[in-house]
Amino acid sequence: MKTNEVKEYVVLNNGVKMPILAFGTDLIPNEDTKQAVLDAFAAGYRHIDTARLYGNENEVGEAVNATSVPRDEVFVTTKIWFNNYGYEKAKAAIDDALKRMNLDYLDLMLLHQPYNDYYGAYRALEEAYKAGKLRAIGVSNFYPDRLNDLIAFNEIKPQVDQIEIHPYFQQEFARANMESHGVQTESWATFARGKDGIFTNPILEEIGKKYNKSTAQIMIRWQLQRGIVCLAKSSSPKRMAQNLDVFDFNLTEEDMAAIKTIDRDTTVFMSHYDPRMLEELLTRAVEA
């Protein structure tokens, strides 16, 4: 993708348009979620990301139903937690999510983690997709080995894979692999959750000064120019608007190369290949 070709949406492998910037609701207190999503709509967001794990699907649904923005202009993503995998459990989890959010359909549903019976769960997604309950389906945290395995042995190719991507963990191999299979890359932890001084990284700050943009805006623009759907979170209406104000400048090839130099090629959290990750995630069991 050339630097001047960034649009405000991407087209998934099934023809569905997906806004390239998403508002994330993870870690927003439940009592604040509805207003935060309404503020996001007011700022200009049209793509809202939630998950069963976050415990705020109900509040997100309330905001989607309360806003004056037409439903067909809103893109809603949620995710099934892995203790609800397996065909029957996932089938119930899909219907429960629709009921909780009081929506007739979801624009995208993802399998949140690459553990447990994700094959059975994915078959439930395929069935719901064919029934019109889901406009698109996909996965999250599936690295190339498991993503390619899933693609090889299922009927419907995932439309999206949402993974950790930020300047410290740029995931070029995973992104290129998804592109080769027609799967859209989406990032979570776009700002590395502020770890390791990323907001004051001198390379990002220097590029920001050149364009009179914040380091957050530089990180978002960098993702967009790589063709990545970008998930950004903020409860501040001012910062919501700033995070959307990234379509009036282009990073040069030199800028992109400079950002490449800070890639550590490893997670700032815990690897999904580390058995301790599963042990930690098992403590987060949620109901369907």
Instruction: Point out the annotated binding site.
Output: 112
Residues in binding site for substrate: 112
User: Would you call 146 exposed, middle or buried from its count of C-beta atoms within 10 A (0-12, 13-18, 19+)?
Assistant: middle
Structure tokens at 6: 């960034």
Name, in order, each residue with C-beta under 8 angstroms of 197's C-beta and a sequence gap of 6 or more. none
Q: What sections of the chain are H helices per DSSP?
A: 30-43, 57-66, 87-101, 118-130, 144-152, 172-181, 202-211, 215-225, 237-244, 253-260, 275-281
What type of residue is 117?
D
User: Would you call 73 exposed, middle or buried from its count of C-beta atoms within 10 A (0-12, 13-18, 19+)?
Assistant: exposed
Using an 8 Å Cβ cutoff, are 136 and 159 in contact? yes
Structure tokens at 20: 């390239």
Answer yes or no: 87 catalytic. no
The Cβ of residue 211 has, within 10 Å, a number of other Cβ atoms equal to: 16
The sign of the CA dihedral 107, 43, 229, 24 is: negative
Catalytic residue among 54, 85, 122, 168: 54
Measured between alpha carbons, how far is 230 from 207 in angstroms, rounded to an integer? 19
Q: Which residues are catalytic?
A: 54
